[in-house]
Structure 1
Amino acid sequence: MAENGVDPQAQEQQVRLQILAQYIRDLSFENVVAQKGFEGGEITPDIQVQVSLDARKRPVDDQYEVVMKFQITSKNEENQANLFLLEVEYGGIFLIQGVPEDQLHPFLLIECPRQLFPYVRRIVGDLTNDGGFPQLNLDNIDFVELYRQQMAAQQAEA
């Protein structure tokens, strides 16, 4: 113990997470209704959201890039006709220190996306609204469960 009552090793192990940059890496929005028209009765949208995550080490010490990929499809429940298609890849560059090596992968794919998600939600809401549809407010995502699903899928492939 140090004189001030703080263990120096515990102080060194303190986790540091800092967002250095955020950016849209790729973005696509197709308003199928406006392009092709819509024939039929009432529209009842069925919205499907697929999310995938990717992380990689950058050449600079303690820096990582995390990219969230969203593919959102809205179809009419009645005839399964596409209403809109939205794809967005949103990335962040993070400075991460104090995370043990064996915990770094889940940290990158759980904690970092939690930091980025509110910005993606706003982008999706603005795009759908500006694209001629009611604003889509994405539900919260359980990034722990998403991580588990991705790891299970990778193990099944191996």
Structure 2
Amino acid sequence: MSTTPQKATAAKGDATPTAAAPEKMEVEEALDEEILRMAPEDLKSRTHLLDNEIRIMRSEVQRINHSVSTLKERIKENNERIKVNKTLPYLVSNVVELLDLEDNQEEEGANVDLDAHKTKCAVIKTSTRATYFLPVVGLVEPSELKPGDLVGVNKVTSNLL
């Protein structure tokens, strides 16, 4: 317990270099021999190549960091949208009438929708005393509805839920 800071530092310093010293010495010796054999022009070209590689890697890291930050921003925006859409903007509505609409064939020469078929539509009256015609009923199967049913309606889209 009564060790001085100098002894503690020396003890820490002694333990670390002994483990890393042999590896470092081998690498430095191999590099030194290779570097000593090279001509100065070769050293300059090699350092220039290394500088270029470092510059390329830095730009690559910068590009990746930018893409990560843009993705994080998009995730943040999407999470905010999810929070907004999780709120329950529902109205209670009353089904007034269900209609079968037939798509009429247009006159000759007009565009005709070959995929058109009979659709069920609904007229609803909401708790805010507004009456809506819904050409697309929503998530509820139209065959299950009948006039007088109470249904939940999305405030914004007025689709049955």
The structure where helix makes up a greater share of residues is 2
- TM normalised by structure 1 equals 0.23
TM-score by length of 2: 0.22
Higher normalized strand content (fraction of residues)? 1
Structure with higher RCO (Cα < 8 A, 6+ apart): 1
Rg bigger for which structure? 2
